[in-house]
Structure 1
């Protein structure tokens, strides 16, 4: 508190702008140096597999019919989850697919101590070892199903990590992704998103 007062006092003494502007600048400094501001970060999501606004690599593309990819779920890392987080969930959704969109992945029950998933966590058994459960995607398979849009304009894929206030959503392996999405929504404390693109 003492150091914050010193910062504010110095700001007032050195300010050479009109009084109202000085007051606003001082308030901003006071807020920025508060313990709450210093303790809380922004819930963020990064990936070694792709970057926001980038194109999905062939390793993450679906492998069926005329889509010939590796169908490997992406590496994901998240930071600064909200206080009170008891577990995490992840979804991948194609918002440009016709109708209600297309669910590519939904997983819940990731322990709160976990802050990243390796490449291919869905098929490798990594998620199962954590005790997590995966939904049935819209390809009618359990786990991750990569992008495979019809030829034409690229589609946007939203990958979201949810911080949940419960460790048990009472979801079972293989239940529909839409059901996962509903239950995740009932317990979400915060979320971090990334949008990537893919077209053929």
Structure 2
């Protein structure tokens, strides 16, 4: 399989429009457009009965101690963990692309509805569900796509992979509310093949200035 995107250049910084938050000169960050990217795939394995789409940040801090503190950065050498940004399943086998902004085009405080969608697909809750659990204004079930919002003081630029799996089942055997990790266990069992395309994102003003100067 091969996957590409018209929304960003593979291996390069993701546009702010795809992010949950973007830089702001007065408040450090502000909410962004939160648009899901365009993705297109080809060379699909024979026997494919559905597709699943995942987005994973591989570089979330493993500890929150230094996150978003103005007097220090999150160390680049801090151990990192995965943060699930998107789980979309039951895409029909004849489909070969998803359009930018089709599944998300803004930030929805307390999360978008789910898991069932009008087009017959389903989406899992992402890791903002846990991140905002103690936030009175933002807590809720965050279904579907919510884009990058790495700590604005993180010394490491985060890597984001968009992965498309071809599956041997028409409907992934999971019911009700589910998250990305639960879906991934089943996706691994039913995957006939996969491909990914990735980009990077940072809200750290120092790192963004360095990137702009390249």
Q: What TM bracket, shorter-length normalisation? A: 0.7 to 0.9
1:40 corresponds to which residue?
A: none
Partners of 2:34 and 2:184 lie apart in 1 by 22
Q: Which has the larger radius of gyration?
A: 1
After TM superposition, the score normalised by the length of structure 2 is 0.68
Aligned-residue offset at 1:114: 0.5
**SS of equivalent to 1:129:** coil
- Contact persistence 1:61–1:67 (CA under 8 A): no
The answer for the alignment partner of 1:119 in structure 2 is: 100
How far apart are the structure 2 equivalents of 1:67 and 1:138? 19
Describe the superposition over 1:109-129 as per-residue Cα deviations: whole angstroms up to 9, x where unpaired. Answer: 00001100011122379x923
Runs of 4+, deviation exceeding 3 Å: 63-67
- Greater Cα shift, 148-157 or 55-64: 55-64
Higher helix residue share: 1
Q: CA separation in 2, counterparts of 1:173 and 1:114?
A: 24
CA distance 1:194–1:106, shift in 2 (3 Å): same
**Residues 109, 131 of structure 1: 8 Å contact kept:** yes
TM-score w.r.t. length of structure 1: 0.73
Tell me whether 1:169 sits opposite 2:127 in the alignment: no
What displacement does 1:157 show?
Answer: 0.5
State the match for 1:184 in structure 2: 187
1:108 is paired with a residue whose SS is strand
Equivalent of 1:103 in 84, 94, 105: 84
How far did residue 173 of structure 1 move? 5.7
1:171 to partner: Cα distance: 2.7
Q: Which runs of 5+ in 2 are unaligned?
A: 63-80, 106-112, 130-141, 204-214
Give 5+ residue unaligned stretches, structure 1: 1-42
Q: Given the superposition, is the C-alpha separation of residues 173 and 159 from structure 1 closer, same or farther in structure 2, using an over 3 Å criterion?
A: farther
Corresponding residue number in structure 1 for 2:143? 142
> 2:39 aligns to what?
76
Q: Secondary structure at the match of 2:186?
A: helix
How many angstroms apart in 2 are the aligned matches of 1:173 and 1:57?
A: 33
Structure 2 residue corresponding to 1:53, chosen from 1, 11, 27: 11
Question: 1:8-23 alignment to 2 at 5 Å?
Answer: none
Instruction: Provide, for residues 77-125 of structure 1, a one-character-per-residue CA deviation record: whole Å limited to 9, x for no partner.
Output: 1011111111000000011112331000011100001100011122379
The CA distance in 2 between the partners of 1:67 and 1:119, in whole Å, is 21
